[in-house]
Structure 1
């Protein structure tokens, strides 16, 4: 008996060691160590376990059962205000075509030269992180754009958070979608026919954004990417000034949507403090007029100016929207700008710790949202996404169907990254932690991910958290727009409960 116990103990310790040191091992290994609802243990992997589904298969199947439509679905959604054409190329390939040699990575808040571009690209490639920057020199940017367009592998897609979310919404035939933003002829051609574009949003030329992609393990000089991602840059004045904001507000009044999705605030950051201060005030006035009628979701994106983020967070936009979507870089920067929890961290050390993420989400809803019923703020929902897991945090009583919403967001991340319609378990891998804590500090609860019930739920005060793992695509075909697809899918399956807005 003692020999059996010793073997099991050694196996458990070994499994734990490999889990922490080799998080990318196939999901089957973790699956074999988990208890199942019928009470059986999978440590004995003989006979029946030869036919046992993998962890990935169990999660994919469970999602299908969990993802159900809300009682009341949106019928009309208005989206604005950033739109462009994305030119997607290999980052290393383009920089080599520009005769740039790999140097040292360095983060530039704005890009003023090709060398700045090289350094910023390497900085984020080394971390496997997404980022977006404004290129100040129009002529140099145009020369880079020309080189990108001449790349035989270059691909053109719908770009801009608003347009990308509009495209995702338009994939559902029961939805009518309004898109406001600077729409040129090429973008208009790329947009789904179901999307309505006001005549005032049409312009003679397109705004182009360059998307420099890199693959997991790709190397340039001494830098190697830990995971696939992309670096985005542009010289985009129309989106940078949010020139379509007033058109958006006027069109909403005529279109009468049930939900408004706003994005593009990050584009103003590169325009300089004097412009964004004034323009942000005007945007808030326009949003406030909309806010009297319908709920608003704000999609955030990469920013570097803490004063600008602080203005958005504390006194301008976030308190007057109902929902926000953001990734791990944006979440940490938001906390840094507001001196919130874990703001002493410069960057995430690998996979963002669930407990720390939970702390920041709770802080946002307490300090800038409506977790206190007496608060005048309207923010009650945050959809957080990172590579290996997603969390939806909602103030109790305001949102319904959030289990389906977070699962749907994770499912679309897997499918879109792999370029498939349904999850192929041979093309994905589980990278989420098997166990985690509800907070980084005490009191905290140890939680785990179950393969048959892959949405883990916990509560902190009057905020409910919903976490699901992501089945990460092993060889992603395209990383651009994943966050927008995740947020759009989560919103599609969400229902705002009856409250006077």
Structure 2
């Protein structure tokens, strides 16, 4: 592995692209091309995506608020982010926090009348001429991207006829039969997207980056109405291209949109959200095949009770998580303290800080001494953090990277005398997520292409910049994470990583992050597998890849960016699990 740098660039606060930038873009394109051999000779992996969706109504925030005669608060020090959105003043204060920090947030408007008035104002076009309407929601957006990337995709969700018409033609839409008791078709839930650009000013505030505040008040999505007991049987009846396959079960199951459950209100009817989460928990335990990898796409939560139930009922049955720089520290707060912070975090964090936060979440979701994880059927084997300035993907790595003696011992623990795989999950072998470097590169390219609304392969250097430093530390807290960047079997000892313009994605191995013992140090004791077996002296190693971000200078769209980025990376790493 080459961690030297040939040409350094100073990136604080940012640089515009030049000859150096063109070299970086070409390097990304090369990595992407190598991961997608053409022509494609085999059908893509099978993917099931859930649940629900919405119609996004996006407006330029400042012109929209100005048309409503809304003025910014003079100071945010005396105006903390509100716990609930009941009044226009609550929305104004929350938007000011989002705008001033360049942070993306999605929040429920409790006042139904106010929400409908805002949606009507946006749809009328009286206050802004630049309204956009498109399909939204984690599940439909990710399904469309995966189909565009060549995977075979089914979407579980009750969609309106309008939403169905906006789905990729190769996405198969599954919904519950009439005897499940739901009327058809439903009315589309609406999300109001208030978008702002970098450098815009509003009163005393200046946006440090382009982003958005999303206001919601869903009625369909909180019920997870795309989930019913026979969903998997319906999926297996779809006529996919099963060439060179032994089964028609999904290789990947993606769960998204659960944050919309917080928008349920008492006047919407009986509160069955916990019942529906229990149904999803049962589906993950009893209906999703063990060979199917499960990805959870996180989002911005404002309900600690709901988020706590998701942490208890969903995360212990998940292999992979996708999230952004605001959601990552919120997840730590949730897992450690059961709280959900409502104030936006900084939108452009340091790489070392984020790496340590990822290690913290990884340790909290893989330690089976914790009550939440004690009966987990899966443990996290992949995380993808997508930010404006960079992409980070961490995976449990393949034992073939280890020395022969260690590899032989580990294989004997997983395979019987006839070479049959024992009950351990394939991700415990580190084989579930190939092409990490290519996935990180794909994520960076997709982030640029989506936000700049450019479909062509090469980003335009004149519309592109880079925010990352020329180097970064592998940890901001060496005392807490003494093994960060360390892996003795490969004689690897990293403290700082320098980027190479011809290799903008840098990867390394390190010992899997673990929680500290109460006496100090880390837990190097035996670990149980998801099926209860003990792995004696398990070798635990992860691979981390950090990719430079290509930042669009002329942002056309921000809502849905994270879903497209996450899905594009998954499209690279998804594999036919027959093998």
Report the TM-score when normalising by structure 2: 0.73
Please name the residue that 2:453 is paired with: 419
Return closer, same or farther for 1:474/1:95 CA change in 2, 3 Å cut-off.
same
Per-residue displacement from partner, 1:111-135 (whole Å, max 9, x unpaired)?
2222211111111111001000111
1:436-455 matches, cutoff 5 A: 436-442=472-478, 443=482, 445-455=495-505
What is the alpha-carbon distance in structure 1 between the residues aligned to residue 115 and residue 309 of structure 2? Answer: 29
- Structure 2 equivalent of residue 435 of structure 1: 471
SS in 1 for 2:66: helix
Q: What is aligned with 2:573?
A: 494
Q: Which residue of 1 aligns with 2:93?
A: 119
SS at match of 1:237: coil
Partners of 1:183 and 1:495 in 2: CA distance: 26
Task: Give the direction of change, closer, same or farther, for the CA distance of 1:290–1:454 in structure 2 (3 Å limit).
Answer: farther
Aligned to 1:457: 507
The aligned counterpart of 1:483 is 562
- Residues 88, 389 of structure 1: CA spacing in aligned structure 2 closer, same or farther, 3 A cutoff? same
Q: Once the 2 structures are TM-superposed, how far is the Cα of residue 189 of structure 1 from its aligned partner?
A: 2.0
2:547 is matched with 468
- 1:61–1:370 distance in 2 versus 1, CA, 3 Å: farther
Give, in angstroms, the shift of residue 162 of structure 1: 0.4
Which of 16, 20, 31 aligns to 1:26? It is 16
**1:42 aligned partner:** none
Residues 346, 433 of structure 1: alpha-carbon distance in 2 compared, 3 angstrom cutoff: farther
Unpaired segments ≥5 residues, structure 2: 1-6, 178-183, 239-248, 399-429, 485-494, 512-540
Indicate which of 271, 286, 289 corresponds to 1:289.
286
Structure 1 match to 2:140: 163
Q: CA deviation at 1:86?
A: 0.6
Write out per-residue CA displacement over residues 348-381 of structure 1, whole angstroms, 9 at most, x where no aligned residue.
Answer: 4452122222122223223213899x98533200
Which structure's residues are more often helix, by fraction?
1
Question: CA contact under 8 A between 1:70 and 1:495: conserved in structure 2?
Answer: no
Is 2:366–2:380's contact at 8 Å kept on the other side of the alignment?
yes
> In structure 2, what is the Cα distance between the partners aligned to 1:278 and 1:259?
25
Cα deviation digits, residues 69-107 of structure 1 (max 9, x gap):
379874321111031111110112222232322225542
Partner of 1:92: 62
Deviates more, 1:123-132 or 1:443-452: 443-452
- SS at 1:383 equivalent: strand
Partner of 1:252: 235
**Rounded Cα–Cα distance in structure 2 between residues aligned with 1:133 and 1:206:** 18
Cα distance change of structure 1 residues 497 and 79 upon mapping to structure 2, 3 Å threshold:
closer
Give the direction of change, closer, same or farther, for the CA distance of 1:333–1:344 in structure 2 (3 Å limit): closer
Q: Distance in 2 between matches of 1:344 and 1:141?
A: 23
Alignment match, 1:57:
22
Partner SS state of residue 195, structure 2 = strand
Check whether the contact 1:86–1:158 (CA below 8 A) recurs between aligned residues: yes
Supply the distance in 1 between the matched residues of 2:138 and 2:341 (Cα, whole angstroms).
29
Shift of 1:499: 9.7
Q: Residues 199 and 246 of structure 1: is their aligned pair in 2 closer, same or farther, counting only changes over 3 Å? A: closer
Partners in 2 of 1:283 and 1:362 — Cα distance?
A: 27
3-state SS in 2 of match to 1:387: coil
Aligned to 1:180: 156
Choose from 311, 322, 335 the match for 1:325. 322
- Please give the per-residue CA displacement for 1:378-405, whole angstroms capped at 9, x wherever unaligned: 3200011110000001111222111111
Q: Pick from 296, 299, 302 the counterpart of residue 297 of structure 2.
A: 299
Cα pair distance change 1:356/1:347, threshold 3 Å: farther
- Matched with 1:222 is 204
Query: Separation in 2 of the partners of 1:127 and 1:493?
Result: 32
User: Hey, what does 1:9 align to over in structure 2?
Assistant: none
- Alpha-carbon distance, 1:406 to partner: 0.8
> Any unmatched runs of 5+ in structure 1?
1-14, 29-52
8 Å CA contact 1:27, 1:430 repeated in 2: yes
Alpha carbons of 1:450 and 1:495: their partners in 2 closer, same or farther (altered >3 Å)? same
Distance in 1 (CA, whole Å) between partners of 2:555 and 2:466 is: 14
Distance 1:371 1:70, change over 3 A: farther
Q: Is residue 325 of structure 2 the alignment partner of residue 360 of structure 1? A: no
Q: Which moves more between the two structures, 351-360 or 104-113?
A: 104-113
1:210 match: secondary structure:
strand
**In the alignment, is the contact (CA less than 8 A) between 1:166 and 1:177 conserved in 2?**
yes
Worse overlay, 99-108 or 353-362: 99-108
Q: Is the 8 A contact 1:362 1:463 kept in 2?
A: no
Q: Among residues 95, 113, 117, which one is paired with 1:143 in the alignment?
A: 117
Equivalenced residue count is 455
The residue that corresponds to 1:385 in the other structure is: 386
Question: 1:211 maps to which residue?
Answer: 193
| Equivalence map 1:99-114=2 (5 Å) | 99-103=69-73, 104-105=75-76, 106-114=80-88
Report the secondary structure of 1:286's partner residue: helix
- Compare 458-467 and 189-198 and name the one that shifted more: 189-198
Checking the alignment, whether the CA contact within 8 Å between 1:371 and 1:395 is kept in structure 2 is no
CA–CA separation in structure 2 for the residues paired with 1:182 and 1:370: 37
